Amino acid sequence: MTLPAANTCTILDYMKSANSKRRAFLQSAVGLGAAASLPIATSAAESGKLKARDGIRVGNLYFSSGLGGMRPEAEKNPRLFGGDIKEQTQRALESHKANLEAMGSSLDNVIKVTVFLADVKTEKAAMNEVYFKYFPKNAPARSAIGVQFPESEQRVEIELVAWIQ
């Protein structure tokens, strides 16, 4: 299906209209096409991957590990309550925020988020309430996937990719 020319909006046009750092970075990457990844790959090959807190940094990109938000006492004793979906989402995002700030970045530079939910059908709305407090505008691309965690107390795990300056 082809849209009429008057309603057509390219990705580049959309990114030009947004003023966040993330959109500017993506705009420059789109402009370079496949060659955009070459400096990062070359840099990683020359200097190696750098272990970062709860993830790995390759060039100017940070790839986090999945972080959960269970209460610390519940991680040690599975009989204790691990926290509801809102509390666990907040804990996970606060951990990511602290990690990014320690590297001189912020949640504003997050490009992609993957959220793993124990019960995506009933808990996604509650998770979104907390999630969008951390990404109120120009939210990054996101996937939400239902999974079965080894610990029944765990409700959510979040991983992300961010631009580090």
Question: What are the chain's domains?
Answer: 49-163 (3.30.1330.40)
Between CA 69 and CA 131 the distance in angstroms is 13
Tell me which of 9-18, 63-72, 115-124, 145-154 is least confident: 9-18
Share of the chain above pLDDT 70, in %: 69
Q: Give the pLDDT confidence of 24-41 residue by residue, as tens digits.
A: 655 555 444 444 444 444
Categorize the per-residue pLDDT at 49 as very low, low, confident or very high, splitting at 50, 70 and 90: low
Contact, 22 vs 109, CB < 8 A? yes
Q: Is residue 113 over pLDDT 50?
A: yes
Cβ within 8 Å of residue 70, ≥6 positions away:
82, 83, 88, 91, 151, 153, 154, 155
Mean of the per-residue pLDDT values of the chain: 79
Q: What is the pTM of this model?
A: 0.70
At residue 11, the pLDDT reads: 43
